[in-house]
A and B are shown apart, each in its own frame.
Chain A
Amino acid sequence: MKKVVLMGNPNVGKSVFFSRLTGANVITSNYPGTTVDFSKGRLCRGKDGHEIIDAPGTYSLEPSNRAEEVALELLEGADLVINVADATNLERNLYLTLQILERKIPVILALNMWDEAGHVGISINRERLEAELGIPVVATIALSGEGFHELMQRIGDAHPSETIRPMNEEERWIRIGEIVKNVQQITHRHHTLRDWLSEASIRPLTGFPIAIGVMLAAFWCVSIIGESLIDYVFDPLFALYTPVAMSLSAWLGPGFLHDLLIGTLIDGQIDYVQSMGLFTTGIYVPFAMVLPYIVAFYTVLAVFEDSGYLPRLATLTDTIFHRFGMHGFGIIPVFLSLGCNVTGILATRNLETKKQRFIAAALLAISVPCMAKNAMVFGILGPYGAGYVMLVFATLFLVFVLSGLILNRLIKGDSPEICLEIPPYRRPDPGTVLKKTLMRIRWFLQEAIPFLFLGVLIINVLYTVGFVEWLGGVFAPVIQGWFGLPAEATTALLVGFLRKDLAVGMLLPLAMSPMQLVIATTLLTIYFPCVGTFSIMFRELGARDMIKATAFMAAMALLVGGTMRLLLLGL
């Protein structure tokens, strides 16, 4: 099987290319550094025996972060390279092209974003470029599929270049200068509204007010979409389901099976949050409480990603993030983590040093709650008043800042400065946004449902064998004495390792005061990551650093929990 690797600068459309060639869906976004790992797929039409690999973007073959290292490793195993280049930025893209050609690998060059090149007044003479580089060159628009037919026809012609020989930096730039002069023509372009908006949103004086407005609008959108979905779609659906579940309950009669499937009836009725049965809480939590907010969050996130706003936000937050031992790019993993910590931690591969990556991953795990858990916090604390919900988030924000300041002092190593390309603003395509959101919802359901069922099952078994009481007794000094919570909350912390959303749900039957709920839900984020996050941290950081991070989390949980207890509950 021939290994065909998609190589190119960041954000040139390699992943859109990959989806189109293989029919498999991967995440694409309008910022450099979306892909940090590789995806493999089979060519979907025409030629057999080709394996296509989507690589992270890189500017050169001298990697400067983990993601670029992956790209280089992939190139080393490639039988053929499809070099995807941004036609609107030919000169810079050719640097990597020449470096690849110097390695004598068969290459075909795709000048992607051909549509945008036309819009901004750039025309490229392809025959001339083919002659200069000595390889096939095709023009493509990955979004619409234009040029892909030609690409497929000519992929067999890809061969090592005869005209490009190894050279040094200086020679390479001179050569690129000559090539560009011969093949490219630029007609002058007027400043547009888009340019104006681009500059306004990245300059400090105008950028910060815009950022605050954008954040508020995003938050508002997520809550409106989420609430509407619950009120108009999911709650009515469950109202239809209740009679079914009730008759199942009557048919089963009391006993272990009833406890497992339906759970405890509250005042003779099913309470979807508190009953804790597989067919009650086990499906209500993921579908009616969490899913609506997952849908809302990922829709808004996709619009953010595809518009190109995130790198601008990274520029605005750069100064602050340096205090936490990272640079502004660190804000992007934070956004992804608000959906799911696993994807957030993967995105830290774009940071250059071990110190930056450790701090980023630790901060995400300790203080950025994922959407599944947030949805439950909205659902459970919301009815008591928005103030309580805000208290949770304000505390987590403080924990983020405090932990960042501390870890920056504690962890040795370099924190290099930011060096981030700002993509042009693009209008998010509704079809792409929808596809991406559906993809992420599917992942959520695949991950969530098994663990939720497992969680509900374990709770039931542990209660039956009396483990819960025993555990509550063991941890009583900390949970009761130090945090001011009921001893049974220990079980929620235990289940939190499997699913944090379910754990929040378990707090409800404990008849806590709203302030106790605030403490408990905050601690549920800080004390320990969930199993998925834990394993990805283990993989990315290694055992030693994982232990360090865990110890830090435990210390923070004790400190923050104790302080909150003093401030919110008194002695």
Chain B
Amino acid sequence: MIQPVSHLETGQSAVICRLEGGFHFRKKMWAMGIHEKKIIRLVAKHPFHGPVVIEVDGREITLGRRMAGHIIVGDPE
């Protein structure tokens, strides 16, 4: 299933299919090691449209909900 990473269940993993949003945002994500084909896991999701915490390469990163909405993931093959 193709969906934004923020729609995953807490603890669930998926593979990044593509990054949406502006060029500046995508560049920033690339520089932080968040890019296509990487395995990403949703560690935590905060209520009231709060931030999400994701894990890539064993590193946790806190991202705003809108940013996380631009990271589109699919099922790992």
Q: Are both chains from one complex?
A: yes
Interface residues of A (CB under 8 A from B): 59-60, 62, 64, 88-89, 91-92, 95-96, 120, 169, 173, 198-199, 202-204, 207, 311, 314-316, 318-319, 327-328, 416-422
B31 at the interface (CB under 8 A from A): yes
Minimum Cβ distance to chain B for residue A307 (Å)? 15
Q: A199 to B27, alpha carbons, bound, how many Å? A: 27
Select from chain B the residue with minimum beta-carbon distance to A419. B63
Residue among B31, B45, B46, B53 with max Cβ neighbours from chain A (10 Å): B31
B67 touches A199 (CB 8 A): no
**What is the total of A-B residue contacts with beta carbons within 8 Å?**
104
Binary A-proximity of B47-77 (CB < 8 A = 1, otherwise 0): 1111101000111111111110000000000
Interface residues of B (CB under 8 A from A): 10, 24, 27-28, 30-33, 35, 43-51, 53, 57-67
A91 touches B57 (CB 8 A): yes
B residues in contact with A203, CB < 8 Å: 10, 43-44, 53
Select A417's contact among B48, B60, B67, beta carbons within 8 Å. B67
B residues in contact with A198, CB < 8 Å: 60
Minimum Cβ distance to chain B for residue A84 (Å)? 16
Select B60's contact among A95, A96, A422, beta carbons within 8 Å. A422
A315 touches B51 (CB 8 A): yes
Select A318's contact among B24, B32, B62, beta carbons within 8 Å. B62
A173 touches B62 (CB 8 A): no
Minimum Cβ distance to chain B for residue A351 (Å)? 13
B57 touches A89 (CB 8 A): yes
B49 touches A420 (CB 8 A): no
B49 touches A319 (CB 8 A): yes
B66 touches A202 (CB 8 A): no
A421 touches B27 (CB 8 A): no
Q: Given the known A-B contacts A318-B50, A422-B53, A422-B61, are A199 and B35 also in contact in the complex, defined by CB atoms under 8 Å? A: no
17 cross-chain CB contacts under 8 A = A64-B24, A64-B28, A89-B57, A173-B30, A199-B44, A202-B62, A203-B10, A204-B46, A314-B62, A315-B44, A315-B62, A318-B62, A416-B64, A417-B65, A418-B63, A419-B62, A422-B61
B residues in contact with A314, CB < 8 Å: 62
B59 touches A92 (CB 8 A): yes
B residues in contact with A422, CB < 8 Å: 53, 59-62
Please report whether the interface of chain B is mostly helix, strand, loop or mixed according to DSSP: mixed
Q: A274 to B58, alpha carbons, bound, how many Å? A: 58
B residues in contact with A416, CB < 8 Å: 64
B46 touches A60 (CB 8 A): no
Q: A59 to B25, alpha carbons, bound, how many Å? A: 13
Select B64's contact among A199, A311, A419, beta carbons within 8 Å. A419
B28 touches A315 (CB 8 A): no
Select B58's contact among A95, A120, A199, beta carbons within 8 Å. A120
Select A419's contact among B27, B50, B60, B67, beta carbons within 8 Å. B67
Q: A249 to B68, alpha carbons, bound, how many Å? A: 69
B residues in contact with A120, CB < 8 Å: 58
A residues in contact with B49, CB < 8 Å: 319
Q: A404 to B34, alpha carbons, bound, how many Å? A: 32
B residues in contact with A421, CB < 8 Å: 32, 59-62
Minimum Cβ distance to chain B for residue A76 (Å)? 18
B44 touches A204 (CB 8 A): yes
B residues in contact with A64, CB < 8 Å: 24, 28
Return the 7 tightest CB-CB contacts between A and B, nearest first: A417-B64, A92-B33, A60-B31, A319-B50, A422-B60, A59-B31, A203-B44
Q: A445 to B43, alpha carbons, bound, how many Å? A: 44
Q: A91 to B57, alpha carbons, bound, how many Å? A: 9
Q: A441 to B24, alpha carbons, bound, how many Å? A: 42
Given A418-B51, A418-B63, 16 other A-B residues pairs in contact with their CB atoms under 8 A: A59-B28, A62-B27, A92-B32, A92-B57, A169-B30, A202-B60, A202-B62, A204-B45, A204-B50, A311-B62, A315-B44, A315-B46, A328-B51, A419-B28, A419-B64, A419-B67
Minimum Cβ distance to chain A for residue B39 (Å)? 12
Select A319's contact among B24, B30, B51, beta carbons within 8 Å. B51
A173 touches B57 (CB 8 A): no
A418 touches B44 (CB 8 A): no
Minimum Cβ distance to chain B for residue A269 (Å)? 57
B residues in contact with A95, CB < 8 Å: 30-31, 33
A419 touches B61 (CB 8 A): yes
A residues in contact with B31, CB < 8 Å: 59-60, 62, 92, 95-96
Minimum Cβ distance to chain B for residue A321 (Å)? 10
